[in-house]
Amino acid sequence: MFVKRFRSALMGVGSAAILAGLLAGCGGGSTTNNTPSGNAPSGTQTQQAAHLPVSAKAGVLRFGIQTDPPQLDPQKSTDLVSFNVINAVMEGLMRVGPDGKPTYGIADKYEISSDGLTYTFHLRDAKWSDGKAITADDFKYAWTRALDPKTASDYAYQLYYIKNGQAFNEGKAKATDLGIQVKDPHTLVVTLEAPTPYFLGLMAFGTYMPAREDIVSKYGDQYFSAPDKAVYDGPFTLTEWQHNAKLVMKKNPSYWNASKVKLDEIDMPIIADTSTEVQEYLSGQLDALDQIPAENISQFQGSPDMVTTPTAATYYLALNVQDPVLKDVHIRKALAMAIDRQQLISGIIKTALPATALVPPGMPGSSPDKSFREEYGDRQYAINDNGKQVLGYFPVFDATQAKQELQKGMQDLGISNPSDVKVTLLYPNRPNAKPVSEAIQAMWQENLGISVNLQQDEWKVHLDTLSKRQQQVGYIDWYGDYNDPMTFIDMFVTNGGNNYTNWSNPQYDALVKDAKTTADTQKRMEDMGQAEKILMDEMPIIPEWYPQVPHAVRNYVKDLAWLTVGGDVDFTWASVQP
């Protein structure tokens, strides 16, 4: 899913000075890796730096966010800001636990058929926030709604695993043909197109959350647009939403596991300016920072408040391959190789690995002892990740090769002067996006001699532009929805809801389809490895870095879970005890 966290001290400085400034930014103290102990959730921080002042209230978590959630309707949402709220107020058949693995949610048990095609979920006695019982029909309705082409859900493809899901979404089957059967109010039987090893993880994903037909019908397009235009089945309810100002969530007394929910309230002020957000944390007005901006990391290094979590994510540039310039693969490769990723990380991002492939390190491979990234890629371009060799498809930076590719592309396009190659990079008003985009602009101009313009948009507008494929180059990222490489690979199928590049390749589509229809783990991984190679050979996207996200958490905040997939934070188990 798309993330929310995208200042510039570099604006107005010449390109050579920008590059020099990035080099001057190298070094500094090391970040702290989270090391869970006892029963604390992974990523939990339990100490506090003495110099940070405190002003807190028991049972109330103050957690700032940097933008208004674009879309809280679970069947329509695609971004991480929204999904973090959705995960707090909604719950699927399963929930991602603090260890990153699916645990029971509205379902309290399940059976899987021996052929892996049929899942039978048994729902516990759970209620909506208005007291009505949650039934299997609520899940069937929500999933059918997500697949209905009239809903126009960008995430409809995440339900193609269900028998006839894709056919129904494409108008080739009826809703009654879907492999979703309500056996009784507490029993849901799901039939799949093919065995799907990560299907239980998907049951915790936002698009699979239940929905009440009477509520959706009552509010129509306004469903989930305000606190009183939805009902909730999660640990919290949304009680206040002042757009572009704040959200407030309170403990849901109707939640089936309410006795284990320790927070009474979550206050989410919307603070667009990251320096203001940091200052509010330092002055004791916030209890946690979802992300420490890169320019502030030095203020937190050495502080026990800082915790850095590995995250299954890739930041990349989405190239519109129908653009008159970017239609040429050599131009796209020139742009990719002219970016010095290590310089971006050392000078701006601080906590990341350079990305020269789509799938990030940590995603499982064909065997338990190797990740997908260790198995697939080109060993010529391997990088080191904690002593392991992770593979990519192109160099972290090669100005000479970039210029060669540019010359090939210019010849294809009949262009003689590099300055006539004009590129506009669209980026959102998120932390790090502006200095990163300015640095990339400088690198492209310095290393290629092309003309580069920058354009900044508000996050919601940025997403809308990308969804309409109206950008030339778009700054974006993807955080894994479940623990399998497919959560990255299937984005770029032809006409995929999150394929913002206009790129299409029939062989790629066929490999993705094959990987989704075989139970053979080795074959699945090989298919995805081949598909990723095609993507990188044709370069409709330019991977930039794999983030290691730095957070700040007070010592009195316990068991706040930072997740690797399916969202980046879960408040279910958290408490505030000042």
Q: In this structure, are strands 102-104 and 94-96 parallel, antiparallel, or unpaired?
A: antiparallel
| Cα 176 to Cα 139, 141, 164, distances in angstroms | 15, 11, 10
Query: What one-letter code names the amino acid at 104?
Result: Y
Q: How far apart are CA 219 and CA 76, in angstroms?
A: 15
Residue 259 CA, distance from chain mean position? 30
Kindly report the pTM of this predicted structure.
Answer: 0.76
- Axis crossing angle, helix 329-337 with helix 433-448, rounded to the nearest 10: 110
- Axis crossing angle, helix 433-448 with helix 399-413, rounded to the nearest 10: 70
Q: Return the H-helix or E-strand segment holding 142.
A: helix 136-147
> Taking Cα atoms as reference points, which of 214, 215, 245 lies closest to residue 230?
215
> Taking Cα atoms as reference points, which of 110, 101, 111 lies closest to residue 364?
101
Q: How far apart are CA 345 and CA 368, in angstroms?
A: 30
Q: Which two tokens stand for residue 203?
A: 């049951």
Q: Which two tokens stand for residue 570?
A: 């879960």
| Three-class DSSP labels, 74-93 | CCCCCEHHHHHHHHHHCCCC
Q: How crowded is residue 576: how many other Cβ atoms within 10 Å of its Cβ?
A: 23
| Cα 414 to Cα 76, 324, 368, distances in angstroms | 43, 12, 50
Q: Which two tokens stand for residue 527?
A: 């298919």
Q: In this structure, are strands 422-428 and 473-479 parallel, antiparallel, or unpaired?
A: parallel
Q: How far apart are CA 98 and CA 428, in angstroms?
A: 30
Torsion of CA 27, 371, 498, 169, to 10 degrees: -170
Q: How far apart are CA 203 and CA 390, in angstroms?
A: 30
pLDDT for position 42? 35
Q: How crowded is residue 51: how many other Cβ atoms within 10 Å of its Cβ?
A: 8
Strands, E, within 356-397: which ranges?
364-367, 370-371, 378-385, 388-392
Q: Do the beta carbons of residue 81 and residue 67 sit within 8 Å?
A: yes
> Taking Cα atoms as reference points, which of 223, 205, 206 lies closest to residue 214?
223
On the 0-12 / 13-18 / 19+ scale of CB atoms within 10 A, 326 is buried
Beta-bridge partners for 254: none
DSSP state of 168: H
Query: What one-letter code names the amino acid at 35?
Result: T
pLDDT for position 1? 52
Mean pLDDT, contiguous 10-residue spans, the chain (578 residues):
34 29 29 30 35 74 93 92 94 90 95 97 98 98 98 93 97 98 98 93 96 98 98 98 97 98 97 92 94 86 88 95 98 98 93 95 91 96 92 97 98 97 94 92 98 94 93 94 92 92 98 91 96 98 93 95 84 96
- The string of DSSP codes covering 185-212 is TTEEEEEBSS--TTHHHHTTSGGG----
Terminal CA-to-CA distance of the chain, rounded, Å?
34
Q: Do the beta carbons of residue 334 and residue 403 sit within 8 Å?
A: yes
Q: How far apart are CA 426 and CA 12, in angstroms?
A: 18
* Residue 545 backbone class (left: φ over 0; alpha: ψ -120 to 50; beta: rest): beta
DSSP state of 270: B
Q: Do the beta carbons of residue 2 and residue 80 sit within 8 Å?
A: yes
On the 0-12 / 13-18 / 19+ scale of CB atoms within 10 A, 505 is middle
| Cα 231 to Cα 77, 131, 251, 412, distances in angstroms | 16, 10, 13, 56
DSSP state of 111: E
Q: Do the beta carbons of residue 270 and residue 245 sit within 8 Å?
A: yes
DSSP state of 47: -
Q: How far apart are CA 567 and CA 87, in angstroms?
A: 8
Beta-bridge partners for 240: 248
pLDDT for position 54? 59
Q: How far apart are CA 267 and CA 502, in angstroms?
A: 39
pLDDT for position 32? 30
> Taking Cα atoms as reference points, which of 290, 495, 325, 307 lies closest to residue 410?
325
> Taking Cα atoms as reference points, which of 431, 317, 436 lies closest to residue 10?
436
Q: Do the beta carbons of residue 560 and residue 571 sit within 8 Å?
A: yes
Q: Do the beta carbons of residue 388 and residue 375 sit within 8 Å?
A: no
